[in-house]
Amino acid sequence: MGKHRLTAAVLTFSVLGFSLTACSGEDRPAPEDAAGTLAEGLSQLDVSGSSFLGATPDEVNTQLAESTAGLAPLTPQVAVGSVEETAEDEAMATLKYVWDVNASETDYSYDTTVALQRNEEDVWEVKFTPAAVHPDLAPGDRLVREVTPAPRADIIGSGGQVIVTERPVWSVGIDKTWVGEEELAASAARLAEFLELDPAAYTAQVEAAGAEAFVEAVTLRQDTVSPPEEFKAQVAEIPGAAAIAGTLPLAPTRTFARALLGSVGQATAELIDASDGALSAGDVTGLSGLQQQYDEQLRGTDGVVIRTVNAEDVPSAPLFQSERASGQPLQTTLDARMQNLAESVLEDEPSASALVAIQPSSGNILAVANGPGSEGAQTALLGQYAPGSTFKMATSLAMLRSGAAPETAVSCPEELNVDGRLFNNASTYPAQFLGEIPLRQAFAQSCNTAFLNARGTVAQPDLASAAQSLGLGVTASIGTPAYFGSVPEAAEGTLHAASMIGQGEVLVSPLALAVAGASVAKGERVSPALVQPANAASGSSAPASGSAAPEAAPLTAGEAETLRSLMRSVVTDGGVQLLQSVPGEPVLAKTGTAEFGSDTPPRTHAWVVAIQGDLAVALFIEEGELGSTSGGPVMKAFLDGLAG
């Protein structure tokens, strides 16, 4: 929108030939007051507060509405430029108009004049003519705004893949001018049933709309319905119904990264109110996700022509013209093939689920998938869940820093009492790995009690620092809100013990665990990226909650190599041996099961973090069994699919 703004105040005044006070007396009203009141009213397109010569305010408001209806819903900013008393009891006011006609930096500005006359009661009345609105307006003329929509820019993925672009759709609805009143309700109900919508709700919507309205029932992708001509004919069989061809910016499929990318549609009243004039009724705008967050960049600026049209509907030459400017594409790091595959392996999960894939060498986020059980929520980036045994990546790092090594003997009892709270291993934990075992086997078999026993040598601040070294709890700007986890720096007793196995107050998102896996793979803490550049437009990241720990010691190459060795043991000897058969480079992994809720037995989250070559993946299932049994097959399906 334009930067030119006027104040509704009198800017200058000139007095010709005599003194105002000498002529009118100190108590007589000045024409400047009447001009100011008029300007304020014109700015609202409601001049009820002014007095007019030979007309009532209601009559003038009617003229005003007729002459400006073609600019709706815009309203001008009007200020008084000057007031000159041209004779006794007569004055001429110059009005300065500014119309913010589109989202460009250029406004439509002009000056016009209006005459005022003082009546016998000392009231200054306005001699209102169409020229008071625009100097080129004659009686019967009106101003109109012609808008040429700017093409909405695409959202691009890695390697230049076009992810969101204009794709053909059907806008299906009832045109009330095509059907008689007696058939209206029946047609609306019939169309709703055909589209598998609520007949009562749509019928009420149709009946409430204006007499000449096209009442849209739904917008459908053309590639999801029967052949175009057949579908159009089926709709046309219903009196008053129509399927109108058009386009909308859409992803490859209806579900493709939907929670991330968002949707595009007609601006809502709330968005219009919050847009500071950038949006009007009927404008197409981003409604959610990246489409809304980066709407200004993607939308571009509509072209606008302002002209007059006379009573015979003959248009004038343009009074104002602003060329349209296309939106600018939004670059992301998403890989379309990987995103599709991630969504396909989650499609049968009834509870909330997510999969995030990162390229460790670059930090690029390649897939951000949420299963149907997430019901539109952004589980992958914003979910906050206990990581369970996947957090043993951080605990193991802290143990290494305290002097342990993969072959260091650790104690793995069947259960452990910590300050009155009983901790157990999983019910499926293999008995042959109880007792004194190497740290490598404790990690591979996911022995909870062995890691709990390390609580005396790993203080809570050391645990938090190790987590930060892997990127857990470390905020990063990826260009959209995200949660990176929280590991308390201070915890004692059972809370500290629970932290050692990824419970207690430790929280992560699937993104955060993917970052941790990527950091292990790369050998240094990875800073993830999604929108490029990360500070584009209004992109931002949601900060992680929890106490901020001091800057963590950097992850060393040697530490990362040891962690990779431990994670490989999970595949060769531990709970996800099924990943051994994945084609390609060796797979490294860590499973996790996190208890939540108050049920007996408790419900559990299932996690798997996997590394294969230059790829790190985190898989989450909100209501699973064990990470190995619920998550393992899903992770295998994903990695097998990539290799296929």
The whole-number pLDDT of residue 627 equals 65
Residue 319, domain member (yes or no): no
Residue 427, domain member (yes or no): yes
Place of tokens 């803490």: 525
- Gap between the Cα atoms of 365 and 356, Å rounded: 7
502: its two tokens:
């990824």
Residue 250, domain member (yes or no): no
- Gap between the Cα atoms of 292 and 262, Å rounded: 7
The whole-number pLDDT of residue 259 equals 97
Q: State pLDDT tens for residues 580-608.
A: 999 999 999 999 998 887 777 778 899 99
- Gap between the Cα atoms of 392 and 561, Å rounded: 15
φ, ψ of residue 366 in degrees (nearest 5): -95, -25
Q: Which of 141, 162, 195 is the last residue of a domain?
A: 141
* Neighbour count for residue 635 (Cβ, 10 Å): 27
Residue 69, domain member (yes or no): yes
- Gap between the Cα atoms of 349 and 370, Å rounded: 10
Residue 297, domain member (yes or no): no
Residues 6+ away with beta carbon under 8 Å from 600: none
The whole-number pLDDT of residue 163 equals 97
Q: Which of 82, 109, 141 is the last residue of a domain?
A: 141
Residue 304, domain member (yes or no): no
Total number of domains in the chain: 2
- Gap between the Cα atoms of 413 and 385, Å rounded: 27
Tell me the helix, strand and coil percentages in the chain, rounded to 5: 35, 25, 40
| Cis peptide bond prior to 550, omega within 30° of 0 | no
Cβ burial, residue 213 (10 Å; 0-12/13-18/19+): middle
Q: Are 172 and 191 in contact (CB under 8 A)?
A: yes
Residue 409, beta-bridge partner list: 438
Place of tokens 């003329």: 141
pTM of the model: 0.84
The domain spanning residue 596 has which CATH number? Answer: 3.40.710.10
473: its two tokens:
């709890």
Residue 161, domain member (yes or no): no
- Gap between the Cα atoms of 644 and 641, Å rounded: 5
Exposed e or buried b per residue across 621-631, where buried means at least 16 C-beta atoms within 10 angstroms of its C-beta: bbbbebbbbbb
Q: Which of 88, 111, 141 is the last residue of a domain?
A: 141
Cβ burial, residue 164 (10 Å; 0-12/13-18/19+): buried
Q: Are 305 and 318 in contact (CB under 8 A)?
A: yes
185: its two tokens:
């309700």
Q: Which residue range is the domain that position 514 belongs to? A: 336-643
Residue 135, domain member (yes or no): yes
- Gap between the Cα atoms of 227 and 250, Å rounded: 19
Q: Are 432 and 369 in contact (CB under 8 A)?
A: no
The domain spanning residue 23 has which CATH number? Answer: 3.10.450.50
Place of tokens 């897939």: 367
Low-confidence ranges of the chain (pLDDT < 50): 3-24, 537-549
- Gap between the Cα atoms of 212 and 218, Å rounded: 18
- Gap between the Cα atoms of 629 and 303, Å rounded: 57
The whole-number pLDDT of residue 16 equals 39
